């Protein structure tokens, strides 16, 4: 599943990501928020609240790139393929090349909400299990998931989105890390305390470049813009 020959390595370089040497971490050269996301471990379930998709794509690239170093493929569950490719292209990454090398898989979100709310949630969970089973069968050490859960907000209710997140738990028992992504503006505009509930459903949170375990969000040193919303 992973590139091994010199030609394959050159091909990976052309995707826009830097092909790392075996055992070499890339997180030391990244800003804190990006490094935090890239360094997510097996079992981690994180929420990324982004201001715009270009900023989100920078997080995605750091996450995918570190996955390459760790021999973990990334499954991107998001909107249409065109939007998915354009998203990575904006930060100079060729998503199709990453897929050709076995580093990334794309699954459109549209596949998961066509049969109603509850079945959509179940299909998302089954997709995670199926992708992981396939990845482990090819010799990978685990898998990474980027899920643009917020893109389903027009099709699934806030209640069902929250139930999906809670069904994963703040930690997963499987050799996967999961990065769930939401447009911060839409979440904060919700009339309910959706932001606080989503934060509680995850083990890690990234908001306006600040990244930390959610267990530390209520207490001394918590940025007021986050802490006040979590306590509501």
Report yes or no: 178 and 44 within 8 Å, Cβ to Cβ: yes
For the four alpha carbons of 215, 221, 223 and 228, in that order, the dihedral sign comes to positive
In this predicted structure, the answer to whether residue 97 has a pLDDT above a threshold of 80 is yes
Number of domains in the chain: 1
Asked whether residue 182 carries a pLDDT value surpassing 80, the answer given is yes
This model's pTM is above 0.85: no
Query: How do residues 147-174 score in pLDDT, each as one tens digit?
Result: 988 877 666 678 878 888 888 889 988 8
Query: Tokens 């580093």 correspond to what residue?
Result: 103
Q: In this structure, is residue 1 part of a structural domain?
A: no
Q: Do the domain assignments include residue 26?
A: yes
Task: Please check whether residue 155 is in contact with residue 113, taking contact to mean a CB–CB distance below 8 angstroms.
Answer: yes
What is the per-residue pLDDT for 201?
Answer: 92
pLDDT tens digits, 186-230: 888 876 788 888 999 999 999 988 899 998 875 433 344 444 444
**CATH code of the domain in which 100 resides:** 3.40.50.11570
- Residue 89 CA to residue 56 CA, distance in Å, equals 13
Mean pLDDT of 112-130: 64
Say what the pLDDT of residue 6 is: 33
Q: Which domain holds residue 71?
A: 6-231
Would 77 be classed as within a structural domain?
A: yes
Q: Which two tokens stand for residue 52?
A: 């715009």
Per residue in 1-59, pLDDT (tens digit) is: 333 333 333 334 444 554 443 334 444 556 688 999 999 999 999 999 998 888 899 99
Confidence at 111, pLDDT banded by 50, 70, 90: low
Closest-CA residue to 199 (of 186, 190, 212, 185): 212
Tell me the Cα Rg of the chain: 17
The answer to whether the beta carbons of residues 101 and 11 sit under 8 Å apart is yes
**pLDDT reported for residue 118:** 55
Report if residue 225 sits inside a domain: yes
Average pLDDT score over residue span 117-138: 72
**Confidence (pLDDT) at 20:** 42
* DSSP structural state of residue 1: -
Please answer whether residues 82 and 34 qualify as being in contact, where contact means their C-beta atoms are separated by less than 8 angstroms: no
Average pLDDT, the chain: 76
Q: Is 27 inside any structural domain?
A: yes
What residues contact residue 162 under an 8 Å CB cut-off, 6+ apart?
194, 197, 198, 201
């Amino acid at each position: 599943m992973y590139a091994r020959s010199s030609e394959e390595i050159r091909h990976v370089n052309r995707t826009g990501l830097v092909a790392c040497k075996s055992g070499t971490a890339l997180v030391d050269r990244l800003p804190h928020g990006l490094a935090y996301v890239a360094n997510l471990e097996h079992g981690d379930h994180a929420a990324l609240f982004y201001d715009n998709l270009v900023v989100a794509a920078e997080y995605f690239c750091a996450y995918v790139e570190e996955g390459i170093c760790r021999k973990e493929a990334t499954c991107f569950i998001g909107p249409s393929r065109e939007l998915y490719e354009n998203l990575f292209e904006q930060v100079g990454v060729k998503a199709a090349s990453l897929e050709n090398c076995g580093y990334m898989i794309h699954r459109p979100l549209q596949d998961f909400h066509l049969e109603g709310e509850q079945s959509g949630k179940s299909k998302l969970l089954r997709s995670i299990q199926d992708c992981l089973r396939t990845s482990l069968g090819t010799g990978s050490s685990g898998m990474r998931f980027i899920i643009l859960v917020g893109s389903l907000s027009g099709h699934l209710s806030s209640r069902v989105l929250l139930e999906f997140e809670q069904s994963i738990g703040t930690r997963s028992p499987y050799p996967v890390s999961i990065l769930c992504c939401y447009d911060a503006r839409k979440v904060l505009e919700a009339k309910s305390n959706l932001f606080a509930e989503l934060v509680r459903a995850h083990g890690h949170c990234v908001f306006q470049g600040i990244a930390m375990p959610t267990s530390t969000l209520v207490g001394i040193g918590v940025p007021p813009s986050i802490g006040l919303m979590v306590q509501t």
